[in-house]
Structure 1
Amino acid sequence: MQGEPGGTASWPRRGVGTLVGCATALLGALHFLVAGAALGPFLLRPRTRAAALRILMAGARRLAGLERLRRSAFFGDRFPGRYQASDRKILRYLAVRAATGLLCAVVIGLLVFGAVLAGLLVHGAVRGTLGRYELLGQVLLGGVLLFLDVQGLYSLAALDARTARECFGPSERELLRRRIDELAASRAAVVEAVDAERRRIERDLHDGVQQRLVALAMLIGRARRGRDPGQSDALLLQAHEESQGVLTELREVAWRVYPSALDGLGLEEALGGVAERCAIPLRTRFEVGAPLPRPVETAAYFVVSESVTNAAKHSSASAISVAVVLDGERLTVRVEDDGTGGADATGGGLTGLRSRVAALDGVLHIHSPLGGPTTVTAELPCA
């Protein structure tokens, strides 16, 4: 998580942290002066530059670690644990810290000096050695200088926090670049998933519905050509049964394209339809107390439908449980079966689900060890 300046620290604690920062800034400045002067000739020579840079960075990383510890201890900042800043970023941070820390020490010194002058002013006013207009002028001048001093401290503290975030965590530019990469990847994955879904629908229509319609046409044709009324009646009865099967399969294909119950009845009723069509006993727990965005409802439905279909076809499961729970602004969909496990997370169906969930900034977890059970969990933001 990216650090947030002073999120949980009290003002006295932050004040101590600022004073400690002045001391660490002095250490950073001394490191640049001493190490830079000693290693400067070696940094200029190509043959010795790498070794000299390693020595310089060894001390710089220790100082950066000290600054990170200071920000965490006195300001309550939290930074990504595994984030590794580049050498250039660390050197730039320490250079900025040395300058701002020393400047902060000067501002604090001026503040202390102003406090001493204010004490002398009060003492003079009590003894009556200061005139009324002189006292008023000194108070106005001191107030302006105090305001500028405090504003300077506030600005330096904000700069310290911002440079720490940029060094010890991803900067805003890095976060934006990552977000762009994630959106590009999710868009490509969604396009691929949609193409795969279209191919599967075409395959279902061609290999299933179309073949059964051809068989139905052949039965009706044989019945029309038949001379035996009994045989024709039997063929028509068989054709009628085949037409019922075609309607059922066509309805299944339509539900896989988009469940119309989502529009009219909502997610809970649509999941009830999945339970009715499932050949395995399915237990559903639905705890959603607020309306859901339509894309979230659609993604949740397909997560349940695809997971239940995979369990019924491949897992040899005897029971399936589905839980849909809304917690704040996050919808959690959990599908678990007691089958043999070993589900391939890279398969076409689960990959399509992962892309569909990722398109909504959600996360899909698949846990399916050999021997089972298989658990598919989707976390979908609803904000």
Structure 2
Amino acid sequence: MRVTAIVLRALIGLVLGAVTAVVEAVFLVLAALGFAYSFVSSRGERAVPRMVGTVAGWLAEVERKRLEIFLRVDGVPGGYPPLRALAYLVLRVPVGLLGGAVLLLLVYGLALAALLLYWWTTGTYPPDYGPNAERLLAAAGVGGVLLFLDLQGLVGIAALERRLVRSCLAPSSRQAYEQRIAQLSTSRAEVVDAIDDERRRIERDLHDGVQQRLVGLSMLIGRARRARDPDRAADLVRQAHEEAQRALEDLREVSWRVYPAALDADGLRAALETVAERSAVPVTIDYTAGRRPPGRVETAAYFVVCEAVTNAAKHARAERVTVQVSQEGIMLRVRIEDDGIGGADPTGGGLAGLTRRVAALDGRLGVDSPLGGPTVITAELPCG
């Protein structure tokens, strides 16, 4: 079933590629006229008219999206110079038209095969053909060979499409290295900011929670020491004991948010089950990942789930949260969905910190939260 879906998706992509090739061929003819006019009117000073460059970039982006969706071509970023987009279209149009011709031959061959099958099953042969079994077998053999060659041609067209878009639109090795260095520099600075934000949050939790509890506990103990009435002193000691218990609970909560001990001892699944138990809203955990991910990946996935569940309970007014953790190849996928009111801001403090944390591991974080809900947060983390 999965193979059939992949083949069908690739065929749709090739059909769309043949249609866009016709459109791009018309555009290139008009662009050539625009080039000539621009060159003459500007006396050679302007090589690419602005409108031609804009349309070429848009068509190249359409092709990139088509190949990404239907032929699974990843790693080609958007945004190209006009000349590069035009060069890609010039090379790509013959490939698309060739793919359209191969598809038409496939449709023609399938139509002939259906006609032969109809003749054979109904016995209604044309007058000049007749019920000749040898002819039918010969036609079937030749048709099978042509079908094989046609399918091989489609595979070749798909491979040529992939190679062409990567060679024309993907950054060069030097550009890729420069982009990688820039990403690492940015992610390093963002990690430092995230650590500082986390320290501020811990300080705030300790100051507003545990410290206030300890101040109250100290005051109760002082009042109990000064009390002359034994019953009053006993009541104050009881209140101090209760305040000490609440301070311990707050301290455990803060330490759990800093880093849960269960994550190292029992793994991500056990830590997420604890999150579900402690959550104010019902949380369903669907954990299907195979082998245990590396520690840094488990930590990032854990904090993604924690932040999403906390936001669902505090801000989204959700009644149920679903957490799915799966593994596809070397990627750990985490998906959190709640039935709240939506409207989550990806640039807010908590989600922005998660984005930086995930990006530091070369992962991706997505937030889809339309007004009215539902809110879906996805994280993809490489385990390799």
TM-score w.r.t. the length of structure 1 is 0.61
Quote the residue 1:236 is aligned against.
237
Higher relative contact order, structure no. (Cα contacts within 8 Å, ≥ 6 residues apart): 1
Quote the residue 1:305 is aligned against.
306
Structure 1 residue 86: deviation in Å?
5.2
Instruction: List alignment gaps of at least 5 residues for structure 1.
Output: 1-37, 95-160
Aligned counterpart in structure 2 of residue 84 of structure 1, from 71, 80, 83: 80
CA-atom RMSD in angstroms? 3.5
Structure 1 residue 336: deviation in Å?
1.4
SS of residue matched to 1:364: strand
What does residue range 1-383 of structure 1 map to in structure 2 within 5 Å?
A: 48-51=43-46, 80=76, 82=78, 84-85=80-81, 87=83, 167-383=168-384
Structure 1 residue 81: deviation in Å?
8.5
Q: Relative to structure 1, is the Cα distance of residues 81 and 368 closer, same or farther in structure 2, using a 3 angstrom cutoff? A: closer
User: Greater Rg, structure 1 or structure 2?
Assistant: 1
Q: Relative to structure 1, is the Cα distance of residues 174 and 86 closer, same or farther in structure 2, using a 3 angstrom cutoff? A: farther
Is the 8 Å Cα contact of residues 165 and 171 (structure 1) preserved in structure 2? no
Aligned partner letter, 1:48: R
SS of residue matched to 1:346: coil
Structure 1 residue 169: deviation in Å?
2.7
Q: Relative to structure 1, is the Cα distance of residues 204 and 176 closer, same or farther in structure 2, using a 3 angstrom cutoff? A: same
Is the 8 Å Cα contact of residues 267 and 292 (structure 2) preserved in structure 1? no
Instruction: List alignment gaps of at least 5 residues for structure 2.
Output: 1-35, 91-161
Aligned partner letter, 1:217: S
Aligned partner letter, 1:339: G
Q: Relative to structure 1, is the Cα distance of residues 173 and 368 closer, same or farther in structure 2, using a 3 angstrom cutoff? A: same
Give, in whole Å, the separation in 1 of the partners of 2:362 and 2:267.
22
SS of residue matched to 1:50: coil
Structure 1 residue 78: deviation in Å?
6.7
SS of residue matched to 2:347: coil
Is the 8 Å Cα contact of residues 210 and 247 (structure 2) preserved in structure 1? yes
Is the 8 Å Cα contact of residues 287 and 324 (structure 1) preserved in structure 2? yes
Is the 8 Å Cα contact of residues 335 and 377 (structure 1) preserved in structure 2? yes
Give, in whole Å, the separation in 2 of the partners of 1:366 and 1:260.
28
TM-score w.r.t. the length of structure 2 is 0.61
Is the 8 Å Cα contact of residues 83 and 169 (structure 1) preserved in structure 2? no
Give, in whole Å, the separation in 1 of the partners of 2:48 and 2:310.
59
Alignment coverage as a number of residue pairs: 263
Is the 8 Å Cα contact of residues 332 and 380 (structure 2) preserved in structure 1? yes
User: Which moved further from structure 2: 323-332 or 291-300?
Assistant: 323-332
Aligned partner letter, 1:341: G
Aligned partner letter, 2:80: Q
